[in-house]
């Protein structure tokens, strides 16, 4: 505490200095110099003195009165003139005849206080002030002393701790040293007393260390407690902060959303609110359009494409609408459309090939490399229905196929290898009916030569023409078999003429097509036909690679109850072995057995050999490529990949179809839909039937196959037919017991067919019933207006001559002027002379009154017509 003088103290307290000096002197303190230091001891003494003198002074004052009060009273009279307010104002005045006299009494009081008392009071006040000041000062001094003492204690404690640490270190060092010294001590015994002395010192030091370490340990515990407390506190604070931050973030999020919305609106409306300005602070607006590299796979959903371009799906959909494409966010679009859209939106599309896995798995198999060897030709027989295709093949392979077929028509592709004198020929027996167009087209793709069968008695028919087109499109040479030459009405030249008209020119006429007259029934000319085919094949120099993984084409597939999926495969390259792992479309499997066209087991099949394969996981599609792969894992991988791809594509097609439907329905609400569920024995038949039935669709009736499949009709087919209100068609298949029961319960009709014509005809007639009957107008008579009369009763009457047909009173009419209809309505009256008649024949004059029309003129024509309702059929 800073030192102060007596004068300072007097100034601080406001007590006059001389009084303070008196007080000090009275307290017995020798204070002559007011600028001398006012020590604490002096202050204490002064305080004691003040406290002690306080009571004594009061006692001393008790001697004699401390004050005297003097009182004086004086009287006087005032004379006041009479009247006026003075009288009233005088409270004590007496009334006189001439004036008034007022007695005035004045009282004075004066108090005298003893000087010593006043001084004592002042001294008392000062003493009180001094007492308070001294108390305050002394208390402050004491407090500072206490603080100093505490600081000192703390310092000492710290020093002790430091010393303890030093000691501990020294002890550790000493211990290390002691172990070293121990051996030395053992060697030098005379040093023992010194060692003892050291021991004593060491004991004391150890005692000290112990005490110190004890205190240090306590301190550590305290520190630990403190640390934990601080940590807990910090944790609480952190959590509180986090909570606050989260809350703030939520608030900000909302604010940002609002800001974004505001920003958007702002941009749209051109108004910038506070929110949009916040947005601008957060994001820097790009100075140039951002061009992105966008990977475009084979199929992609609209949403995903938008994401890859970093645009909003809604914007992309808008762009698509501009391009005339309607799509939803989850709809898959094809690669071409996606590329177009990416370009339209100013980005760079990169087409992603999804065949990498195909290449990796199939490798060499896809592209056969190796020494090429000659192979036998694959021949397809085509022609119009009933022109003798099956009979011809039957003759060639000497087996009765035609007689075993339902309705005498070949229902699906069969592949047969036939040994002839001119080597092996592989025949694909394609049916002649138009329904099998798709299969024929597929057959032509694997075909080297086409035998076009034309019945000599029938000539070129629609399917003959179609076969020519398919062969031409596939670039396959044709050999014409002019069949049924044994028939009396056979006219081979007619066939030549008709085909020449379709640019199939016979060799003898300077063309390049061999025409062979034959009879499939008698076998006449069949040898020549085969020779011609062999010759044609020779010209083609057909080759195949034998030493490579086998590959081929699925000709047909069906589900066999005992053997599972069965596929007829035409091997094109390599040699297919039993035990090979093959993949075909989305199916794969190890070849369990190979069967030839006679149903006999074979171990292998080389190029141009048709073979039945057992062991696939499912039914491949006719026309699918078959490839041998290294192992099952790869085959499975690839099959899965393809399945996924095909599912995507199917999804895409389905969605597109729905959209189409939607739009067409919007355009025309009157369209009737016939849904079909078609099941068949083999894939080819189902496909063909589906196609030909779908082709029956027209503007008014749409035929939609909702489901197709191979195998018996089961419960789920019936359920599907129920749900989609579909006709259930079984082609060469029947419903199983459960399905039959379900169908019966729900009155679902089952339509079984084994001849494709029947299915088509029946559906056609069913659909015909659904067509709206057509109403046609037929003009039944015309009359010319020769004169016009007016009748008071009937109004205007036109005198006419019926020039054509008959005019009937009940039929509607039209009035034509210069062949332009001027009125349409009914007849009011039809008269012949004065009689009303119902009809007037041609060449007869009559009077005609037209209802609600009085402007018939001479030269007009009155046309009488009737409306006829015509039932329609397809
Ligand atoms: N006279 C005579 N009849 C024949 C000849 N070839 C076929 N036919 C008869 O013609 C009819 C039809 O013969 P198919 O072999 O079934 O005719 P297709 O072209 O195979 O008929 P689809 O399988 O329905 O396409 C049968 O009755 C045969 O007997 C022939 O060369 N001469």
Q: What is the mean predicted confidence (pLDDT) over 150-158?
A: 85
Residue of 386, 393, 394, 516 to test ligand 1 pocket, by largest number of atoms within 8 Å of CB: 386
Ligand 1 atom nearest 433 alpha carbon:
25
pLDDT of res. 715: 83
Residue nearest to atom 8 of ligand 1 (CA): 388
Q: Supply the pLDDT for residue 81.
A: 65
- Residue 521: CB within 6 Å of ligand 1? yes
Residue 368 token pair: 């056969």
Which tops the pLDDT comparison, 180 or 162?
Answer: 162
**Residues 27 and 39 sit within 8 Å (Cβ to Cβ):** no
Q: Is 453 annotated as a binding residue?
A: no
Closest residue by CA, ligand 1 atom 13: 388
Give 173's pLDDT tier (boundaries 50, 70, 90): low
Q: Alpha helices, DSSP H only, in 458-612? A: 462-474, 492-500, 526-540
Lowest mean pLDDT among 126-135, 338-347, 351-360, 452-461: 351-360
464 close to ligand 1 (CB < 6 Angstrom): no
Q: Which atom of ligand 1 is nearest to the CA of 387?
A: 19
* Residue 2 confidence (pLDDT): 52
Nearest CA to 247 among 258, 237, 255?
A: 255
Gap from CA of 391 to ligand 1 centroid (Å): 5
282 pLDDT band (50/70/90 cuts)? low
Q: What ipTM was predicted for this assembly? A: 0.98
Strand partners, 382: 452
Q: Judge if the beta carbon of residue 715 lies within 6 A of ligand 1.
A: no
Q: Is 518 in the pocket of ligand 1 (CB under 6 A)?
A: no
Question: Percent of the chain, pLDDT > 70?
Answer: 74
- Quote the Cα angle for 846-852-858, to 5°: 45
Protein residue closest via CA to atom 21 of ligand 1: 386
pLDDT in the model for residue 670 = 58
Which of residues 528 and 463 earns the better pLDDT score? 528
Atom of ligand 1 nearest to the CA of 431: 25
Give residue 649's pLDDT band: very low, low, confident or very high (50, 70, 90).
Answer: low
**Dihedral of the alpha carbons of 561, 565, 570, 575, in degrees to the nearest 10:** -110
Give residue 277's pLDDT. 45
Binding site annotation covers 64?
no
Question: Does the structure show a pLDDT above 70 at 294?
Answer: yes
CA of 385 to the centre of ligand 1 (A): 8
- pLDDT > 90? residue 393: no
> Is 432 flagged in the annotation as binding?
yes
- Chain-wide mean pLDDT for the chain? 76
Percent helix, strand and coil across the chain, each to the nearest 5: 45, 30, 25
- Residue 60 pLDDT > 50: no
Atom of ligand 1 nearest to the CA of 524: 31
Which of 385, 388, 450, 453, when mutated, tests ligand 1's pocket best, judged by the most ligand atoms within 8 Å of its CB?
A: 388
pLDDT score for 781:
92
Whole-angstrom distance, CA of residue 128 vs CA of residue 54 = 9
- pLDDT (average), residues 3-18: 80
User: Does 519 contact ligand 1 (Cβ within 6 A)?
Assistant: yes
pLDDT in tens, 789-802: 887 777 889 999 99
- Edge-to-edge strand list for the sheet holding 478-483: 414-420, 423-429, 378-383, 449-455, 478-483, 514-517
Residue nearest to atom 6 of ligand 1 (CA): 388
Structure tokens that stand for 436 in this block: 């099998």
Helix/strand/coil for 21: helix
pLDDT of residue 261: 43
**Predicted local confidence at residue 84, as pLDDT:** 44
- Residue 402 CA to ligand 1 center (angstroms) comes to 8
Nearest ligand 1 atom to alpha carbon 485: 31
Could you tell me which residues are beta bridge partners of residue 789? Answer: 797
Contacts of the segment 119-125: beta carbons below 8 A, 24+ positions apart: 120/57, 120/61, 122/19, 123/19, 123/23, 123/57, 124/54, 124/57
d(CA 291, CA 309): 9
Asked whether residue 431 is marked as a ligand-binding residue, the answer is yes
Residue 476 near residue 378 (C-beta atoms within 8 A) = no
Q: Which of 194-203, 416-425, 451-460, 647-656 has the largest mean confidence?
A: 451-460
Is ligand 1 within 6 A of the CB of residue 487? yes
Contact 390, 555 (CB under 8 A): no
| Band of pLDDT at residue 210, cut at 50, 70 and 90 | low
Specify the pLDDT at position 576. Answer: 93
Strand (E) positions, 576-624?
A: 576-577, 581-584, 587-590, 593-595, 601-602, 604-605, 609-614
Best residue for ligand 1 mutational test, from 433, 462, 520 (most atoms within 8 Å of Cβ): 520
- Residue 793 makes CB contacts below 8 A (sequence gap 6+) with none
Residue-wise pLDDT tens digits, 418-449: 776 777 788 876 554 443 455 555 554 678 88
> Does any ligand 1 atom lie closer than 6 A to the CB of residue 431?
yes
> pLDDT digits over 109-153, tens only?
777 767 776 677 777 777 777 778 888 888 888 888 888 888 888
- Do the Cβ atoms of 427 and 390 come closer than 8 Å? no
Quote the ligand 1 centre to 556 CA distance (angstroms).
Answer: 23
Task: Give every CB contact of residue 768 below 8 A, 6+ residues apart in sequence.
Answer: 871, 872, 873, 874
Does the annotation flag 775 for ligand binding?
A: no
CA-385 nearest atom, ligand 1: 25
Report the pLDDT value the prediction gives residue 54, as an integer from 0 to 100: 59
Average pLDDT value for residue range 568-595 = 90
Cα(518) to centroid of ligand 1, in Å? 12
Q: Cα angle at 467 between 463 and 473, to 5 degrees?
A: 140
CA 463 / ligand 1 centre spacing (Å):
15
CA of 386 to the centre of ligand 1 (A): 5
Does residue 410 have its Cβ closer than 6 Å to ligand 1?
Answer: yes
The rounded distance, in Å, linking the Cα atoms of 800 and 844 is: 8
Determine whether the annotation assigns residue 433 to a binding site.
yes
> Which 3-state string (H, E, C) describes 526-571?
HHHHHHHHHHHHHHHCCEEECCCCCEEEEEEEEEECCCEEEEEEEE
Whether 71 shows a pLDDT value over 50: the answer reads yes
* C-alpha 399 to ligand 1 mean position (Å): 14
pLDDT, tens only, 481-505: 999 999 988 899 999 999 999 889 9
How far is ligand 1, taken at its centre, from the CA of residue 753, in Å? 22
Q: At residue 456, what are phi and psi to the nearest 5 degrees?
A: -65, -25
Ligand-binding site membership of 390 (annotated): yes
| Inter-CA distances, 185 with 201, 385, 855, Å | 17, 128, 158
Mutation test of ligand 1: which of 390, 399, 403, 482 has the most ligand atoms closer than 8 Å to its C-beta? Answer: 390
Q: Which of 360-374, 593-607, 855-869 has the lowest mean pLDDT?
A: 360-374
* Average pLDDT estimate for 820-840: 89
Smallest Cα–Cα separation from 613: which of 587, 586, 594, 632?
A: 594
Tokens 């509180």 belong to 240
Q: Comparing 734 with 830, which gets the higher pLDDT?
A: 830
The reply, when asked if residue 698 is annotated as ligand binding, is no
* Nearest residue (CA) to ligand 1, atom 22: 409
- Kindly provide the b/e burial profile for residues 668-694, where b requires at least 16 CB atoms within 10 angstroms of the residue's own CB: eeeeebbbbbbbbbbbbbbbbbbbbbe
* The pLDDT value given to residue 838: 92
Average pLDDT, integer, range 215-221: 73
Buried/exposed 186-206: b ≥16 CB within 10 Å, e otherwise: eeeeeeeeeeeeeeeeeeeee
Ligand 1 mean position to 521 CA, how many Å?
8
Cβ of residue 391 lying under 6 Å from some atom of ligand 1: yes
């Amino acid at each position: 505490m800073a030192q102060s003088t007596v004068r300072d103290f007097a100034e601080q307290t406001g007590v006059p200095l001389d009084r303070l000096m008196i007080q000090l002197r009275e307290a017995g303190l020798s204070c002559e110099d007011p600028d001398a230091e006012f020590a604490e001891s002096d202050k204490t003494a002064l305080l004691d003195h003040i406290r002690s003198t306080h009571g004594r002074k009061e006692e001393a004052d008790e001697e004699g009165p401390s004050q005297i009060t003097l009182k004086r009273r004086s009287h006087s009279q005032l004379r006041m003139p009479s009247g006026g307010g003075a009288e009233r104002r005088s409270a004590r005045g007496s009334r006189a005849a001439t004036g008034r006299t007022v007695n005035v009494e004045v009282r004075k009081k004066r108090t005298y206080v003893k000087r010593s008392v006043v001084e004592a009071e002042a001294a008392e006040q000062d003493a009180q002030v001094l007492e308070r000041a001294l108390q305050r000062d002394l208390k402050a001094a004491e407090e500072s002393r206490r603080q100093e003492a505490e600081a000192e204690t703390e310092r000492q404690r710290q020093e002790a701790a430091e010393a303890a640490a030093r000691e501990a270190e020294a002890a550790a060092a000493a211990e290390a040293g002691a172990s070293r010294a121990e051996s030395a001590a053992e060697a030098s015994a005379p040093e023992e007393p010194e060692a003892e002395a050291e021991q004593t010192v060491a004991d004391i030091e150890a005692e000290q260390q112990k005490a110190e370490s004890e205190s240090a340990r306590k301190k550590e515990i305290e520190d630990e407690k403190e640390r934990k407390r601080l940590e807990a506190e910090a944790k609480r604070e952190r959590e509180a902060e986090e909570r606050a931050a989260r809350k703030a973030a939520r608030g900000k999020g909302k604010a940002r959303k609002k800001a974004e919305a505001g920003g958007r609106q702002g941009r749209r409306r051109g108004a910038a609110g506070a929110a949009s300005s916040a947005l601008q602070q957060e994001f820097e607006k790009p100075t140039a359009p951002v061009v992105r590299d966008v990977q475009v796979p084979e199929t992609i959903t609209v949403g995903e494409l938008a994401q890859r371009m970093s645009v909003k799906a809604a914007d992309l959909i808008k762009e698509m609408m501009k391009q005339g494409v309607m799509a939803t966010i989850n709809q898959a679009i094809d690669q071409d459309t996606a590329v177009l859209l990416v370009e339209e939106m100013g980005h760079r599309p990169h087409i992603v090939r999804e065949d990498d896995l195909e290449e990796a798995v199939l490798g060499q198999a896809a592209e056969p490399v190796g020494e090429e060897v000659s192979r036998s030709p694959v021949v397809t027989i085509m022609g119009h229905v009933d022109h003798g295709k099956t009979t011809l093949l039957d003759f060639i392979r000497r087996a009765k196929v035609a007689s075993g077929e339902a309705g005498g028509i070949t229902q699906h592709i069969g592949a047969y290898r036939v040994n002839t004198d001119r080597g092996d020929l592989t025949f694909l027996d394609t049916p002649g009916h138009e329904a099998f167009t798709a299969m024929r087209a597929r057959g032509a793709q694997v075909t080297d030569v086409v035998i076009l069968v034309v019945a000599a008695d029938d000539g070129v028919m629609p399917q003959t023409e179609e076969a020519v087109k398919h062969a031409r499109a596939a670039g396959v040479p044709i050999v014409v078999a002019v069949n049924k030459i044994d028939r009396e009405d056979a006219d081979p030249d007619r066939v030549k003429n008709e085909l020449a008209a379709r640019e199939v020119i016979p060799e003898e006429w300077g063309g390049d097509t061999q025409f062979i007259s034959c009879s499939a029934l008698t076998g006449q000319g069949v040898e020549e036909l085969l020779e011609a085919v062999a010759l044609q094949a020779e010209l083609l120099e057909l080759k195949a690679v034998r030493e490579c993984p086998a590959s081929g084409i699925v000709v047909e597939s069906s589900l066999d109850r005992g053997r599972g999926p069965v596929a007829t495969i035409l091997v094109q390259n390599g040699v297919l072995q039993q035990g090979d792992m093959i993949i075909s479309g989305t199916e794969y499997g190890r070849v369990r057995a190979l069967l030839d066209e006679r149903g006999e087991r074979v171990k292998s099949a080389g190029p141009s050999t048709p073979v039945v394969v057992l062991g696939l996981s499912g039914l491949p599609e006719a026309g699918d490529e078959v490839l041998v792969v290294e192992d099952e894992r790869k085959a499975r991988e690839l099959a899965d990949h393809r399945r996924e791809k095909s599912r995507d594509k199917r999804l895409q097609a389905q969605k597109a179809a729905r959209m189409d439907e939607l739009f067409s329905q919007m355009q025309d609400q009157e369209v009737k839909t016939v849904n079909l569920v078609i099941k068949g024995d083999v894939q080819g038949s189902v496909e063909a039937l589906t196609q030909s039935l779908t082709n029956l669709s027209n503007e008014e009736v749409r035929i939609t196959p909702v489901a197709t499949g191979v195998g018996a009709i089961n419960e789920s087919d019936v359920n599907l037919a129920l749900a989609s209100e579909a006709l259930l068609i079984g082609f060469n298949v029947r419903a199983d017991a459960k399905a039959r029961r379900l169908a019966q319960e729900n009155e679902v009709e089952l339509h079984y067919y084994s001849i494709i014509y029947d299915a088509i005809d029946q559906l056609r007639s069913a659909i015909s019933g659904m067509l709206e009957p057509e109403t046609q107008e037929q003009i039944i008579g015309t009359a010319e207006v020769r004169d016009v009369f007016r009748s008071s009763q009937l109004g205007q009457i036109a005198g006419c001559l019926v020039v054509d047909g008959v005019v009937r009173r009940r039929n509607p009419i039209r009035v034509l002027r210069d062949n332009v209809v001027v009125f349409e309505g009914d007849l009011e009256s039809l008269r012949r002379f004065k009689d009303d008649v119902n009809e007037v024949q041609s060449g007869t004059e009559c009077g005609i009154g037209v209802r609600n029309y009085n402007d018939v003129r001479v030269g007009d024509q009155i046309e009488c017509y009737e409306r006829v309702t015509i039932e329609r059929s397809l």
